[in-house]
Structure 1
Amino acid sequence: MASSFGGINTALTSLYAQRRGLDVTGQNIANANTEGYTRQRVEMQSQVGSISPAMYAKTDGLGTGVAVSDVQRLRDEYLENRGRSEHGASAYLASQSASYTTIEDAFAEPSNTALAAQLRDMWGGWNDVANNPQLTAPRSALIQQSATVVNQLNGAHEGLARQWSQNRTQMDTYVDEINTAAGSIAQLNESIIHANATGLTVNELEDRRDLLAMRLAELTGASAAKRENGGMDVFIGGATLVTGSVTRKVEFTGAARLEDQNADPVALRWKDTGGATSPGGTLGAMTDTMSIIIPGLSASLDGIAKKLADSVNALHANGFSTDGTTGLDFFGGDSAATIKVLVTDPDKVAVSAVSGTRDNSVADAIADIGDAAGGPDRQYQEMIGQLGVQSQGSARRAEIQSVVTEQVDAAREAQSGVNLDEEMTNLLTYQRGYEAASRVLTTIDSMLDQLINRTGLVGR
């Protein structure tokens, strides 16, 4: 049979349990707007008496109160893994779309001041020279218009090189952030594993670790997997970055400027082995931009500059200027970075095919280059057209992925986010439970007072 004092313990365990529920609810409310916080729930379990009594012992089978068996962290690991995957993909596409936008801004097409318009003005200048070969003014204007085209080509190359260099600098910053985050996860792993071994609650530590893992997913497309002891392993491109309390470091190596990219390609590598890894996320997009997109556009721009110089020089060198000079190249250089106008004297501009005449056939032939099927203008139009298509496609994919990511985040928030209305309900529930347990304790105290201090006084 249970003791008369057993009810005190039962009421006391209820007080402890309800108070723990109030504490956890208060923690949820306090962190309702804390990034990465996961709501928690108290798991209570009824306590029972001995189920293997001694031979002559007797029990009424009643329970002995309640105990808090666990403070559960309400987070779905499947949704978390899905969230990391979707955030990595979204970061990759967003970074790639931003790169395309910056590149388009460098070319500024279509515009009255962009390269396509300046090329048209230059070919128009050659037409003016052909129509008035005896005049100096059209030739002077042509030289100035050609210099403007050259400046546009130089500026476009400088814009691509500048963006490449900015990405290169930013990559070093991101690599430092990755190594720091990996070290923090390793430290948290060690703390969580030790705490789990001693039965302590580690929910807040796991929240911090998940937040860092999500950041790594955005930066590198990293994936994560939990171990039975509570530790977390993090992977980049299938290779381990963090396992338990051990971490590896990464570094970004390769060319320091765009011109050296082909000879020394940039790559994210493991610092311990030197092996390359294949990141996703922001770093993956930036690596692709630096190793594929910008070098490809730079090569196309160099081809356009070389085509312009070769096609004009081939005709100009065989022509004669008004002072009888021949054999002069109009443009120098063979790339967008090095192209320049060599002819600065209007009297050195080749116009005629025959010396000493005012034949305009050379100037007229050069003017026709602008409409040639394989001319520099067509090449430039094709390059800008492909750039526009790629940029538009990247922007659309980024928008679609953003919607998918928001949907996954909404599902994650529904599972792990704090709902203040729900917490207020829990607050009232635990408050009433605490008050009721207090009332039980008061009632038992009154009963025991009657039993101990008043029993046997009747009739004295």
Structure 2
Amino acid sequence: MGSTFSGLNTALTSLYAQRRGLDVTGQNIANASTEGYTRQRVVMHAQNANLTPGIYSTTTAVGNGVTVSSVERLRNSALDHRSFTEHANSSYHNERAGAYTLIEDVFGEPSDTALQARLQDMWDGWNAIAANPDKKAPKSAMLEQAVTVASSLNDAAAALDNQFKSTRAGLDTYVGQVNKAAESIAKLNHEIVLATQAGLQANELMDQRGQQMLKLSELVGATATELPNGALSVYVGSAPLVAEFNTREIGIETGSATKLQDLPDIEVNLRWKDTGTAVAVGGAMGAQMELLDKDGTLREISQRLDSVASKLASDVNTAHRGGYGVDGSTGLDMFVPYDPTDTPVTAANIRVNSDLLTDVDRVAVSSGDPKGATPILNGTVADDLSELATSRTGADASYQALIGDLGVSAQSSIRRRDIQNAVTDQVDAARDAESGVNLDEEMTNLLTYQRGYEAASRVLTTIDSMLDQLINRTGLVGR
């Protein structure tokens, strides 16, 4: 049979349990907008009477109340790991699409001020010269247009190099963030394991670790494995980054390329600092490494732009060298590199020959010598140069192919980004439905625990009144 005073303890355990439920519900409500927070739930179970029954024994005991066995994190590990994977893919495609957008901005096509329009202006200038080969004004205008074409090629090459440098600087920053996040996860692993072994709750620490893990997945495409002791092992590719309480660092190989011109002789390599082996990264850093690679997007676009500049110089110079200026000069190149020792002509070094800029009469326009024994001034060379605009193998055709391929690649990257982001949003929505805080549900729980606390208080008051009757009033009748 239960003790006379056992009811007090039963009510008291209920007060403690309901109060714990109120505290946890309040914590959920307070963190409803906290990024990465996982809602928690109080798990209660009834306490037995701790009796050891005999074969023929009977008892009227009804138990010793309620106790809180744990406070659970309502987390789905499968959804967490799926989220890490999808966020890594989203970061990769977002970085890649952003890079293509910047490259498209370099060329700015189609536009009245972009390279294609400036090339057409130059060809139109040659056409005007063909109509008036003896006039200086059309030649001066054409030379200014040619200078603009060369400047546009210079600017595009410089912009691509600047994008390489900024991407390289961003990679440096990401490397530091990865190493810092890995160290943070190792420290949190240690704290979580100690707390778990001591029988304490480490839910908030696990939330912090989950945020750091999500950051690593976005940066390098990291994956994770949970250990029986509560620690988390993190992998980049198949190599460990965090092994329980220990971390490894990644770094950019000393002497790696810092500008586009360094490729392909010098590459950009990510290495494990302890072994020197290559790091197989994904996520945002994976997209950056593709941009910085010797066979990557930036170098490919740069090489094709150099081909446009080289083709332009070759075609124009070939025709120009064979023609005669009004002053009888011949054999001059129109497009030359800034440094005469540089070969071949590239988008970065192309310029208009200064000899022509100082004396426009040296611009080749005629197929014959205007100063010869039989003077010839026919504008044939200028006419031939103007027709390069429609050449199927000329600089214009090469440039149009470059812009067309760039547009296709950019659109493809944007579509893949949008599809991947939609998948990631779906996974995040499923995870939030599992672990996010629902204020309506929490308000219901709040009322449930409030009523439970009030009922336990009433039980305690009732038992107190009964005991008062028993202790202070029993035996007074007849005195």
The TM-score range, normalised by the shorter chain, is: over 0.9
Look up the match of 1:297: 301
- Please provide the CA RMSD for this pair: 1.6
Distance in structure 1 (CA, Å) of the matches to 2:350 and 2:154: 7
Distance in structure 2 (CA, Å) of the matches to 1:127 and 1:10: 103
**Cα deviation, residue 373, structure 1:** 0.9
Look up the match of 2:458: 439
Q: TM-score, normalised by structure 1?
A: 0.96
SS for the counterpart of 2:4 is coil
Output the amino acid matched with 1:335. T
Alignment of 1:106-255 (within 5 A): 106-253=106-253, 254-255=256-257
Task: Pick from 351, 355, 378 the counterpart of residue 359 of structure 1.
Answer: 378
Distance in structure 1 (CA, Å) of the matches to 2:419 and 2:112: 33
Distance in structure 2 (CA, Å) of the matches to 1:56 and 1:10: 27
Output the amino acid matched with 2:308. I
SS for the counterpart of 2:81 is helix
SS for the counterpart of 1:456 is coil
Distance in structure 1 (CA, Å) of the matches to 2:147 and 2:23: 75
Identity %: 53
Alignment of 1:388 with 2:407, yes or no, is yes
**Cα deviation, residue 166, structure 1:** 1.3
Distance in structure 2 (CA, Å) of the matches to 1:61 and 1:453: 26
Task: Pick from 321, 327, 336 the counterpart of residue 323 of structure 1.
Answer: 327
Look up the match of 1:24: 24
Output the amino acid matched with 1:381. Q
Q: Which moved more, 1:114-123 or 1:325-334?
A: 325-334
Q: How many residues were matched structurally?
A: 460
Distance in structure 1 (CA, Å) of the matches to 2:473 and 2:56: 33
Look up the match of 2:340: none
Distance in structure 1 (CA, Å) of the matches to 2:426 and 2:226: 24
Deviant stretches of 4+, over 4 Å: 53-58
Output the amino acid matched with 1:88. A
**Cα deviation, residue 146, structure 1:** 0.7
**Cα deviation, residue 53, structure 1:** 4.2
Look up the match of 2:100: 100
Look up the match of 2:11: 11
Q: Which moved more, 1:304-313 or 1:323-332?
A: 323-332
Look up the match of 2:270: 268
Q: For each residue in 1:101-127, what CA deviation from the matched residue of structure 2 results, as whole angstroms up to 9, or x when unmatched?
A: 111111111111110011111111111
Distance in structure 1 (CA, Å) of the matches to 2:244 and 2:225: 11
Distance in structure 2 (CA, Å) of the matches to 1:15 and 1:57: 32
Distance in structure 1 (CA, Å) of the matches to 2:5 and 2:410: 78
Look up the match of 2:373: none
Q: Which moved more, 1:33-42 or 1:321-330?
A: 321-330
Look up the match of 1:336: 347
Distance in structure 2 (CA, Å) of the matches to 1:281 and 1:313: 47
Output the amino acid matched with 1:331. F
**Cα deviation, residue 355, structure 1:** 2.2
**Cα deviation, residue 223, structure 1:** 1.3
SS for the counterpart of 1:63 is coil
Q: For each residue in 1:43-81, what CA deviation from the matched residue of structure 2 results, as whole angstroms up to 9, or x when unmatched?
A: 001111235347898643522111101100001111111
Task: Pick from 234, 252, 259 the counterpart of residue 257 of structure 1.
Answer: 259
Q: For each residue in 1:337-368, what CA deviation from the matched residue of structure 2 results, as whole angstroms up to 9, or x when unmatched?
A: 00111132212111223323213222222222
Q: Which moved more, 1:77-86 or 1:35-44?
A: 77-86
SS for the counterpart of 1:113 is coil
SS for the counterpart of 2:274 is coil
Which consecutive residues of structure 1, in runs of 5 or more, have no partner in the other structure? none
Task: Pick from 384, 409, 412 the counterpart of residue 431 of structure 2.
Answer: 412
Q: Which moved more, 1:235-244 or 1:48-57?
A: 48-57
Q: Which moved more, 1:447-456 or 1:10-19?
A: 447-456
Distance in structure 1 (CA, Å) of the matches to 2:280 and 2:161: 24
Output the amino acid matched with 2:430. A
Distance in structure 1 (CA, Å) of the matches to 2:95 and 2:297: 13
**Cα deviation, residue 448, structure 1:** 2.1
SS for the counterpart of 2:281 is coil
Output the amino acid matched with 1:443. T
SS for the counterpart of 1:251 is strand
Output the amino acid matched with 2:332. L
**Cα deviation, residue 128, structure 1:** 1.6
Distance in structure 2 (CA, Å) of the matches to 1:5 and 1:330: 109
Distance in structure 1 (CA, Å) of the matches to 2:29 and 2:103: 46
SS for the counterpart of 2:229 is coil
Look up the match of 1:283: 285
Distance in structure 1 (CA, Å) of the matches to 2:478 and 2:246: 80
Distance in structure 1 (CA, Å) of the matches to 2:363 and 2:205: 76
Distance in structure 1 (CA, Å) of the matches to 2:8 and 2:232: 44
Distance in structure 2 (CA, Å) of the matches to 1:2 and 1:419: 42
Distance in structure 1 (CA, Å) of the matches to 2:269 and 2:18: 56
Output the amino acid matched with 2:311. K
Distance in structure 2 (CA, Å) of the matches to 1:132 and 1:217: 66
Which consecutive residues of structure 2, in runs of 5 or more, have no partner in the other structure? 338-344, 371-375
Q: Which moved more, 1:311-320 or 1:68-77?
A: 311-320
Q: For each residue in 1:346-404, what CA deviation from the matched residue of structure 2 results, as whole angstroms up to 9, or x when unmatched?
A: 12111223323213222222222221111000000000011111111111111111111
Output the amino acid matched with 1:360. G
